[in-house]
Structure 1
Amino acid sequence: MHIIQTGILTAALLASVVVSKAQTRPSTTPPANALWYRQPARNWNEALPIGNGRLGAMIFGRASTELIQLNEATLWSGGPVSNDPTPGAANALADVRAALFRQDYTEAAKQVRRIQGVYTEAYQPLGDLLLRQKLAGDSSAYYRDLNVGTATATTRFTSGGVTYTRELFVSAPDQVIVVRLRADRKGALDLTAALRSVHPVRKTVTGPMELAMRGKSPAKAVPNYVDYDKKPVRYDDSTGCNGTRFDLRLRIRSTDGQVTADTAGLHIRNASEAVLYLVAATSFNGFDKCPDRDGRDEQALVDAYLKQVLPKPIEAVRQAHIRDYQSYANRVSLTLNGSATSTVAQLPTDERLKRYAQGDSDPMLESLYFQYDRYLLISSSRSTAANLQGIWNPMVRPPWSSNYTININTEMNYWPAEVTNLSELHRPLIDLIGSVAATGRNTARTFYGAGGWVAHHNTDIWGTSNPVGDRGKGDPNWANWAMGGNWLCQHLWEHYQFTGDKTYLRTVAYPLMKEAAQFCVDFLVESPEGRLVTAPSTSPENIFITENGQKEAVSVATTMDMGIIWDLFSNVEQAALQLNTDADFRQMLAQKKQKLFPLQIGKAGDLQEWYHDWPAEDPQHRHVSHLFVLHPGREISPLTTPNYADAARKTLEIRGDGGTGWSKAWKINFWARLHDGNHAYKLLRELLRLTGVEGTEYAKGAAPIPTCCARTRRFRSMVILEDCPG
């Protein structure tokens, strides 16, 4: 059981705007379940997210030049992965193991670089909608919000005696982004709606009230932390396979003003209201299809979406959107002591956060945090799985490629799916696991000479499963970790536990879980002591110090590896029992589970992280990977294994309460599993805090920071579903 949705870091957005000096109050009382502010966003990190799982938008709320950044969930760089990106990689395994068992960890780290493939591709921005509005003077009475109860966003301000209101939402039933503009004086609305993109595009006027922007994603976008590639973004590709086409349409649904159209935009004059529709599609046709040569007809898809929505009254579109969204959102309510009568809710969200961080009680803010978590998952996991930033990203080379980091962050995104009654939203991740398993069968064979399927610490929409690192350039402490697929299998099992759907278990979950277990059976090797161990093995993403003072990352049988395999074998055994199948395989797993290298308690009384009781280079490292066995694993419990629970507690005391947002969120769950609600609550309060415009502080030993340090640090802490990987 997870006490809090930790993958989607709502503290990020709740803390996204510093306190404004302006004290003007909104003209109407803000909804109780809304994030609201008295000033526009100063940058992308402070913008407010809306989405329907496929289409996403970030709303800045600027008065005269509004910026709305747009995304489509299937727009990624690259294309299907190679079946054998590093020929001969499996030949290195024997050399790695030989070095490990003679305790030459430096040589093992050198040799394991031969077991690396290519980097994942990057999630891409679609474009921007710009609203250039003529105003008579400065704006006042400013208000913007995101209503978590209705999945609508509002910006309102007064200029020249006219009050202007913008309402935005993204409809899942009608697959359209709606921008509804109003002025309370007839003829006062005078603006141009324009499109732009960071990609090479062509713009075409496709009708008297419609503008199309069409382009293609890059054939390659290397990770933002790679600094040696002279051409990190490439649109040209000799195979003609890579790069996904897209079509974005801007359509005026209705207005009482005059409209002219050219490639510079749609120009609305002398109006008091206007409704804009944004519809988009890509040529993505599955993880194993070339998106260009074998892609879908994105223009035909957009035509179909428009044909469906245009005849409908705008209010019908709005109500259908709210009904659809609330069919998920209203399944769970959370009322905490004092929530119903809290007067502090009348303050802007940033002011509430400031007071909360100073020690004030605000149960309604905590309830809003919980529901905002659910809002983000509903908004970003309806078609494809939510990536590192959900579906919101403005950069061609976003931090960590905005991919799926599966050594904690992707899993963390989905911890709340079942426990907060959003089970259907788990299915996009389950579908992604199927894609990763398909490529992972080739990776198991070509990188390890093993059966089953395997995935490492990164994947993308193409199901990349190889250990990344650009064939030897990646640091093994994060690149060469082979348990990502095994951890993902936990979600296959959890979905069954909550749904009880035996058809799903038989046809989807169990076959994937069994194959992952088969890889483990083939990958495990017997140690000199007669125990089954993983070799090579790392503890993401920490470094140990040997008896000789060497700083190393690669060893055997890290606690995280062994805990994940124990968990997988246990789940496969239970699934086979549920299906009354594979008795021999089930018995074999039970036998091997008994031979796994066991948990160890170190001399400091903590849970040992590595095969030997080595000290960590950074004792307060943000990853606490070896406590997987406490959460989300179930090998340790205060009720059944009190000695190991005490060791886990000691580990947390040594690690400390600091860390990046996702790290602190994981620690909340650890303390909850240890039945220490007070400590868990302490960390929860520390998550909800204001940050400066340039970003948050980072724990010592954090992963590489890209060259755009200020923006990236902020970017990592804001509208990012799991905050940041590694």
Structure 2
Amino acid sequence: MKKFILPVIFLAASVNTSFANDLTLKFDRQADFFEESFVIGNGTQGAIIYGNPSRERISLNDITFWTGEPEKGVYSPGAYKAIPGIREALAKGDFAKAEQLQKEVQGHYTQNYQPIGNLFIDFADKSALTTYNRTLDLKTAKANVTYSKGGNEITTEYFASAPDSLIAVRIKAERPIDLSLYFDSPVEYNATSNGSRISADGHAAYTSMPSYVNGNLHNNLKYYPNRGISFRTNISAYSPNGSITPTPDGKLDVKGTTDLTIYVTMATNFAGVSVNPSESGIDYKGNANRLADKALRKGWDAISADQYADYSKFFSRASIDLGDSSDELNAMPTDIRLKNYCDNNAVDPDLEELYFQYGRYLLISCSRTPGVPANLQGLWNEYLLPPWSSNYTTNINLEENYWPAEVTNLSELHLPMLSFIKQLPTTGRETAKEYYGVDRGWCLGHNSDIWGMTNPVGLHGGDPSWANWNMGGAWVASHIWEHYLFTKDRDFLKEYYPVLKGAAEFCIDWMTEDNNGKLITSPSTSPENKFMAPDGNAYATSNGNYADIAMIRQCISDARDAARELSTDADFIKEADSTLANIRPYEVGANGQLMEWTTDFPEQDPQHRHQSHLYGLYPGHHISVAGTPDLAKAAARSLEIKGENTTGWSTGWRVNLLARLAEPEKAYSMYRRLLKYVSPDNYQGPDKRHGGGTYPNLLDAHAPFQIDGNFGGTAGVAEMLIQSTPDMITLLPTLPKEWKTGSFNGLRARGVFSLDTKWENGKVKQFTISSEKGGKTTVKANGKKIKVSLKPGESKTIRP
């Protein structure tokens, strides 16, 4: 698969290049754990930096390096034959039998995302340090480690370059130093050194199982030399004044250098979801070599300048100012600052801004490979059997990764997910037919992977609460229409419309009528949640849960609106309207909550982390305070029952839900909850902090690490500052009193509008609205509705 930099599909009319906040993560010590490290990435290759002054370890990743091979047929052909029996059992109220029969409608698991390996920099001088400083500057995407050792000051700079497809490291010292470079990997590999380069070739297992199935590396990973995805990693060194010598065991010995540059180039033979990598014909070794040779010719200064120019064109588009923190807070190490924020309820708006921008930094760093979106850990993984396979979990996590893409002015970075979605019908049509007996359209289960797997997982023994959910296609397809609303790219919509329509067609044909003639799904599950049945037991399988209904309603509406926009498919538009009119309406339960199941069953866990039945409020659009006030009130009651103590990604989702409900103080409180300090050492240290929240390096704690909470939090802040529909933009819809004065630049609204806004004492003082394509909208500011009409490329500044 050819990897390339995603094209810029539009240039933001508003570009901000000035940041009052220094936007820097700071530490006064090395990272002992991943959760204290810095992560860098160019959208395809990534590195995890520990900053160890004695023996530095830089963990390496390539987003295309997974176990497995293309999907080979259907794991459970004819599984749909169990569906009538499940429906019959549910009609009789026999939930136990329905649950057991659900296991017949299951297939295989996803493959595992894999680490490439580690670059070690072993310094000869092991003496004690007298100073140490470690930083990650989000404005430049460059990490630095500076320390003094034996009277010698040493500085190491790290960055990942998209234009040159490499990881770059430069070590500079006041006095000459000695060190050695070497590579290792947990996968099968071989490393040799020649001249000033280490070359490592390895391959992933050709099949694997998740850690939670067997938990044994030997049983879960199967290797064969000519099967699976292969990689080459080159570690090329250059020093103008030191000697570099290869060793027989594949290392490089460096002597007497004061200036050492290291370029890491990586390439794999992954060529797409349906291409066997061993037959792809990709010259991945040659690709890695050519990148390394080019880097050595080009040199550090030019590579660094191009990296900054490329990165800043994305990052500089949007900024926020939520107030000023004290100099004392801004000088604190990030881990101490985060603890202080949590323990002392500190007023620290610069930290809140830093977290917002960190989400944008992470998306730029891990989402620039066509057809390969950010996974559960974005790009950064050190485990052969990572948590939940570091796969694409589609009952919230993959989608949440991309919530900030459009609104925070990173629309191009949405394309890796969208192009991935475009590939899913290839297997999704077979899944629809063989697992659900549906001949039209396509569907997607709870998990997917780089091979575009769509079937329900479980191997006929998984818990239906997570294994049997089949609304992934309906959810991911909604991103197609969202991208169009923000870009008005008709060519894109025309190309992707069949994918969106196919997801909607599956939904239409999968539904069945309830006793009142209303359309529901059967069987259905509400992601990872269970209800208490009359027999006193907890079950997942029922008829017509409202998470299904919410996603189906949104998917069909989006597909219909897309057809109207393209002036096509009149018959489908008619069918969609008829179906939408007959879907079972939402209901409010005895406790005033929006019901999760069509029977008002009590939940097994009333404070369960998933809130999938609230999808219509966010990220969907058919529940709102203005349009459906009673349903919005019921959704608010559901969140009230769930409380605030939840896990990372769920907390991020709740920030957005509360923002849509126009609950500023509750949304802000939930944002602070997202920034709850979680200890990095698997809770083994003297200051144990567990649960969901944020690690010292600001990565999301599910726990363990999942990147979706970071993206949900960034989207949530934007949702508090700006909300939009195709017809209206609302400024400061959910502004908490803590952010009473501030500004934002470059946030985006549906309709291809960009907004810069300043406010004082909670009131908008002025806003500038611009549009590359022009158009009309209504801006709501300070309760006033202002009609705006722009020509292409025009901007207007308005003081409401």
Structures share a fold, TM > 0.5?
yes
Of 213-222 and 715-724, more deviation after overlay is shown by 715-724
Q: Which residue of 1 aligns with 2:591?
A: 604
The answer to whether the 8 Å contact 1:241/1:293 transfers is no
Q: Which residue of 1 aligns with 2:95?
A: 105
**Out of 15, 33, 42, which is 1:43 matched to?**
33
Is residue 464 from structure 1 mapped to residue 449 from structure 2 by the alignment? no
Q: Tell me the SS of whatever aligns to 1:252.
A: strand
Is residue 448 from structure 1 mapped to residue 436 from structure 2 by the alignment? yes
The answer to whether the 8 Å contact 1:539/1:560 transfers is yes
**Superposition deviation, residue 318 in structure 1:** 0.3
**Superposition deviation, residue 597 in structure 1:** 1.3
The answer to whether the 8 Å contact 2:205/2:222 transfers is yes
Of 90-99 and 414-423, more deviation after overlay is shown by 90-99
**Out of 459, 462, 481, which is 1:493 matched to?**
481
The answer to whether the 8 Å contact 1:214/1:246 transfers is yes
Distance 2:706 2:609 in 1: 20
Is residue 355 from structure 1 mapped to residue 340 from structure 2 by the alignment? yes
**Out of 197, 206, 224, which is 2:211 matched to?**
224
Taking a change above 3 Å as real, the CA distance of residues 405 and 36 of structure 1, as seen in their structure-2 partners, is same
The answer to whether the 8 Å contact 1:80/1:290 transfers is yes
The answer to whether the 8 Å contact 2:648/2:701 transfers is no
Amino acid at match of 2:623: I
Distance 1:430 1:57 in 2: 25
Q: Which residue of 2 aligns with 1:27?
A: none
Taking a change above 3 Å as real, the CA distance of residues 675 and 200 of structure 1, as seen in their structure-2 partners, is same
Distance 2:514 2:238 in 1: 69
What pairs up with 1:232-381 in 2 under 5 angstroms? 232-236=219-223, 242-262=227-247, 263-338=249-324, 342-357=327-342, 358-381=344-367
Q: Which residue of 2 aligns with 1:503?
A: 491
The answer to whether the 8 Å contact 2:154/2:171 transfers is yes
Distance 1:296 1:442 in 2: 29
Distance 1:241 1:605 in 2: 59
**CA displacement 1:35-78 (0-9 Å, x = unmatched):** 01011111122211000011100001111011110001100000
**Out of 563, 582, 599, which is 2:550 matched to?**
563
Of 523-532 and 400-409, more deviation after overlay is shown by 523-532
Is residue 622 from structure 1 mapped to residue 596 from structure 2 by the alignment? no
The answer to whether the 8 Å contact 1:716/1:723 transfers is no
Is residue 93 from structure 1 mapped to residue 83 from structure 2 by the alignment? yes
**CA displacement 1:490-532 (0-9 Å, x = unmatched):** 1111111111000110112x11010111111211111222111
**Out of 641, 648, 655, which is 1:654 matched to?**
641
Distance 1:402 1:608 in 2: 32
Taking a change above 3 Å as real, the CA distance of residues 330 and 286 of structure 1, as seen in their structure-2 partners, is same
Distance 2:701 2:281 in 1: 36
CA RMSD in angstroms, aligned pairs only: 2.0
Q: Tell me the SS of whatever aligns to 2:424.
A: helix
The answer to whether the 8 Å contact 2:53/2:123 transfers is yes
**Superposition deviation, residue 646 in structure 1:** 1.1
The answer to whether the 8 Å contact 1:46/1:718 transfers is no
Is residue 515 from structure 1 mapped to residue 508 from structure 2 by the alignment? no
The answer to whether the 8 Å contact 1:388/1:723 transfers is no
**CA displacement 1:174-201 (0-9 Å, x = unmatched):** 001101001012x2x2100110000121
Taking a change above 3 Å as real, the CA distance of residues 552 and 724 of structure 1, as seen in their structure-2 partners, is farther
Q: Which residue of 2 aligns with 1:18?
A: none
Amino acid at match of 2:167: I
**CA displacement 1:1-20 (0-9 Å, x = unmatched):** xxxxxxxxxxxxxxxxxxxx
Is residue 683 from structure 1 mapped to residue 673 from structure 2 by the alignment? no
Taking a change above 3 Å as real, the CA distance of residues 230 and 155 of structure 1, as seen in their structure-2 partners, is closer
**Out of 80, 83, 107, which is 1:117 matched to?**
107
Q: Which has the higher contact order (CA 8 A, sep 6+)?
A: 1
What pairs up with 1:403-422 in 2 under 5 angstroms? 403-422=391-410
Distance 1:229 1:353 in 2: 36
The answer to whether the 8 Å contact 2:648/2:702 transfers is no
Amino acid at match of 2:398: T
Amino acid at match of 2:387: P
Is residue 390 from structure 1 mapped to residue 375 from structure 2 by the alignment? no
Q: Tell me the SS of whatever aligns to 2:181.
A: strand
The count of corresponding residues between Structure 1 and Structure 2 is 676
Amino acid at match of 2:493: L
**Superposition deviation, residue 722 in structure 1:** 4.0
The answer to whether the 8 Å contact 1:388/1:724 transfers is no
Taking a change above 3 Å as real, the CA distance of residues 177 and 37 of structure 1, as seen in their structure-2 partners, is same
**Superposition deviation, residue 242 in structure 1:** 4.2
What pairs up with 1:430-441 in 2 under 5 angstroms? 430-441=418-429
Distance 2:461 2:218 in 1: 17
Taking a change above 3 Å as real, the CA distance of residues 498 and 623 of structure 1, as seen in their structure-2 partners, is same
Distance 2:426 2:553 in 1: 23
Q: Which residue of 2 aligns with 1:663?
A: 650
**Superposition deviation, residue 93 in structure 1:** 1.4
Distance 1:511 1:229 in 2: 42
Is residue 400 from structure 1 mapped to residue 388 from structure 2 by the alignment? yes
Amino acid at match of 2:117: G
What pairs up with 1:133-144 in 2 under 5 angstroms? 133-135=123-125, 137-144=127-134
Q: Which residue of 2 aligns with 1:167?
A: 157
Distance 1:372 1:438 in 2: 35
**CA displacement 1:391-410 (0-9 Å, x = unmatched):** 10000000000001010011
Distance 2:216 2:618 in 1: 39
Distance 1:723 1:644 in 2: 28
Q: Tell me the SS of whatever aligns to 2:319.
A: coil
Taking a change above 3 Å as real, the CA distance of residues 248 and 620 of structure 1, as seen in their structure-2 partners, is same
The answer to whether the 8 Å contact 2:79/2:435 transfers is yes
Distance 1:232 1:342 in 2: 54
Higher strand fraction (1 or 2): 2
Of 682-691 and 146-155, more deviation after overlay is shown by 682-691
**Superposition deviation, residue 224 in structure 1:** 1.2
Distance 1:460 1:716 in 2: 21
The answer to whether the 8 Å contact 2:532/2:604 transfers is yes
The answer to whether the 8 Å contact 1:35/1:145 transfers is yes
Distance 1:101 1:241 in 2: 51
The answer to whether the 8 Å contact 1:342/1:362 transfers is no
The answer to whether the 8 Å contact 1:123/1:398 transfers is yes
Identity level (%): 39
Distance 2:250 2:128 in 1: 25
Amino acid at match of 2:230: R
Q: Which residue of 2 aligns with 1:13?
A: none
Q: Which residue of 1 aligns with 2:690?
A: 697
Q: Tell me the SS of whatever aligns to 2:522.
A: coil
Q: Which residue of 1 aligns with 2:788?
A: none
The answer to whether the 8 Å contact 1:376/1:721 transfers is no
Q: Tell me the SS of whatever aligns to 1:434.
A: helix
Q: Structure 2: any 5+ residue segments left out of the alignment?
A: 1-19, 684-688, 693-698, 713-800
**Superposition deviation, residue 280 in structure 1:** 0.6
Taking a change above 3 Å as real, the CA distance of residues 45 and 272 of structure 1, as seen in their structure-2 partners, is same
Taking a change above 3 Å as real, the CA distance of residues 400 and 110 of structure 1, as seen in their structure-2 partners, is same
Distance 1:713 1:426 in 2: 20
Q: Tell me the SS of whatever aligns to 1:540.
A: coil
Q: Which residue of 2 aligns with 1:128?
A: 118
Distance 1:423 1:628 in 2: 22
Q: Tell me the SS of whatever aligns to 1:115.
A: coil
**CA displacement 1:85-139 (0-9 Å, x = unmatched):** 1122121111111212222111111111111010000000000000100116201
